[in-house]
Structure 1
């Protein structure tokens, strides 16, 4: 339950901070001064909803390096590093994208791709993954990550997060306004009443949980597409099937909560609705259906 809370808190944090800052600047008071101004409220919601999502996207690459301790391979010094760079280069060429940075970090089996732009992304693998899998399986995992980049999944997820954040902010204030006027009977002055502020805060948390379910559903769908993308880049799906089978028997390395959706796999959540990755057996079945 702690993992779910932290994951959701990451998605809500920037949005809540922006909301508080704009409220302190008097934007909320302006919106409710003479009745709720829906046009201005939508603009306000768009600013709050998309600012956090796109800011997170723009800093995703340096934050991933910092939070995982990933070391970019600028000049390969070992045969393994030389092989990794060569494999990613070949996969990137097949996928029609620019060469991503290739990095290695210490940790249990996992891998991730991140970055705001297709032609300047980052692909990283853990030492645990390299030690636990065959080279063909590692290549399939790298194909999966390159497919994420080629599919534009990082931008897509930022857009989805921005849209759901916008609706969370918008609906929370509509509900807050209605409750403040109807139940707390606040109509004596132009300022939002305590009922409005409390209701907005509570609704942002509740609606944020619901929004996270939507975001996680989209995240699971993109995993199926990236698995299929790896199969296409590799020429057949068997290497990715083998890689997923191997990963299914390993404890995945835990990534920072803000990056949980970026890994090749994730720990099973308490609730399937909040899982960023489908079960391994479903991913394997989907790949076998392609053969």
Structure 2
């Protein structure tokens, strides 16, 4: 099913690339894919093939490309496939990632940090006027405790040097700290990348979700820190998790003509959790 030539019935189409075949990726593909050529990327062939099959059954022109975002060469193959799939790449939404509940610190650094940097770097080379990239970060990035110097390094260091930076080395044995750092790095790296994208007539932003109802979030909720995560939803007043469709709507806005003057910024879609953490959380944390 994956790595086959995309269909072209109806002539050349605009192309939408979605990395990650999980809950958010599937919602984004369905929201943005109508009338366009969909390129879906994932490291799991099973998840990739299942989503591509489902999208085709729903009438979408969908094509799967098996991709490991931690490998620049793999991302370059994805960009090449997207560039040849239709008239132009109109949107890239990067949802692929791992979590602190299910991955090692090394995996988080390789996928969430370096992988996102590869997506930003490689797709900038094929972006044209009107192309928009949205990288899914996390509200966790707003909770990272980094110096201005560390943020500057994470924002501007060449991708091949990221793993050697002192703040990255410092979290190599701590999955949660690695996750916070990686997601903050996603946010500041997109800010720094906006200039290069602007010069191509293209745009790049991050969306930072809070707790969203996906299989990954379910695994996080069942982890040792999951109780605090769910308690925070009540404490901040929202009283529920978000849905993948709500993230898809944010991505749809940021990749649409309505957002042509928005680039290099982060959109929090978290039900007010980051604001509660900063201004209202008791000193002792979330009470059980």
Greater radius of gyration (CA): 1
Which structure's residues are more often helix, by fraction? Answer: 1
Point out which structure has higher relative CO (alpha carbons under 8 A, 6+ apart).
Answer: 1
- TM category (shorter chain) comes to under 0.3
